Structure 1
């Protein structure tokens, strides 16, 4: 779905050689080797600000994450069930996990079940929480693609790449992590896919998102502008999709009619002499 995105000057005062007594105290010279070292200056707001620079804060914050307790994430069901582990402070950045952690018994297991999620999707979430990205990463501008991997085909024939990011999107919605939602949505539009792949993606979106979710409109718009071509590649699947998900069919039809109405209005504007509809109602005899 690749279309419709104080610099502080270093240096101190020079040593001043004391030549005699004076009523006004002269600046102190460097202490002699056998002199007692001067006491550390009392903490000031300026010293505190330096100690708590953004770099130090981020570093200390990340170390605090790593010092937090380990939580088990039980992902999937049956034979495919897998246990992943993560630091509690990383997980509780999500409102959903924060609430789950608050339910832990004092001396009981620290375990959260995610039976409806896949290990790949939860793995992408954890990678994002620890690094700020997940594979495949977006390429820097001016490129509009994603990083390549020999195991990933250039064209998504089956929709698996679209579904990968769609699942991350819906998990991020569940966990309340809007930045991850935005990241996943952006990656969806950088994938080159086929009609079959787009149908699988549309099915997932209309099954797992709310009616007012903003991710639905681009799906409907994609089919509204290209369905006359794409339906020939997968006409039976397209028909089944429309019948199985009436809201999808209605959204696509609404956009198609909006486009036709706009074109009609543009023609009327270009030819003001032509008024009304050119189609006449059949006369009943």
Structure 2
């Protein structure tokens, strides 16, 4: 019989040592966790930030058609803000005249909306709050515990979009919010599937914490989502290998620690051979 459902706190400390960079913690500053944006620290040092803001607002309007078919939605924004992204700057280079419109049929509407909100304000909802360093501002539209992965996927999609758009600060901000979501095993599997399906194998920033999370809790989590966990390992063998590698690394460290504490006679250890009766 499966064990009772386990709520996975976003602030729980992992048991496996991870070489996960803490850059997102140092890079996110300010009362609401602002990390820059077009009106961040650099602009604050200028003599008249209001003039800078107006310069952005005087730029032409760009249309972004997000999604496809009946789900397509038209968004508009000022070109000077949109082209802070190298990706959009390149796409709009040939739109000096006429309608400035870009089609984004495969992008998430919510993720693009978060990108635009970040460009205008230096943050996106839900924001980080100073009163709770390990949490985000309350969102009454979502449950306190993410049991489907929807909240994790929101920030994961912003992360992958920021990577595509060449926005490292937004990417860092999204990654910092992922670790502030309280979730269940089912939600974590949905998030892991997205990460391993939409990020390159070289992206240790987001992949390694996923593998380490499951390596430290797999003995409990698999009872809550055993079928999903099994399917994830079959669908993404790299995920299973990454988790197993971390589990074995930790086991080797514990074994080495025990060996250091236990005095051994002689300088070598031989494998015990089974006795054979003749």
Q: TM-score, normalised by structure 1?
A: 0.78
Question: Rg: which structure is higher?
Answer: 1
Q: 1:183 aligns with which of 160, 173, 181?
A: 173
2:88 maps to 1:80: no
Report the secondary structure of 1:79's partner residue: helix
Provide the C-alpha distance between the structure 2 equivalents of 1:180 and 1:143, rounded to a whole number of angstroms.
18
Q: Deviations over 1:98-145 (max 9, x none)?
A: 1111022x4332011111112111101100000011000111155311
Provide the C-alpha distance between the structure 2 equivalents of 1:284 and 1:92, rounded to a whole number of angstroms.
77
Q: Deviations over 1:28-48 (max 9, x none)?
A: xxxxxxxxxxxxxxxxxxxxx
Q: 1:114 aligns with which of 95, 104, 112?
A: 104
Unaligned runs of 5+ in 2: 1-8, 15-24, 26-42
Q: Deviations over 1:34-77 (max 9, x none)?
A: xxxxxxxxxxxxxxxxxx99354322111100000000001001
Q: Which structure's relative contact order is higher, taking Cα pairs within 8 Å and 6+ residues apart? A: 2
Report the secondary structure of 1:154's partner residue: coil
Q: 1:193 aligns with which of 179, 183, 186?
A: 183
Aligned to 1:21: none
Provide the C-alpha distance between the structure 2 equivalents of 1:99 and 1:135, rounded to a whole number of angstroms.
28
Q: 1:280 aligns with which of 249, 272, 277?
A: 272
Q: 1:94 aligns with which of 48, 60, 85?
A: 85
Change (3 A) 1:70 1:224: same
Aligned to 1:262: 253
Unaligned runs of 5+ in 1: 6-51
Q: How does 1:152-167 map to 2 (within 5 A)?
A: 152-167=142-157
Aligned to 2:10: 2
Root mean square deviation of aligned Cα:
2.1
Aligned to 1:231: 222
Aligned to 1:219: 210
Q: Please identify runs of 4+ aligned residues in structure 1 that moved more than 6 A.
A: none
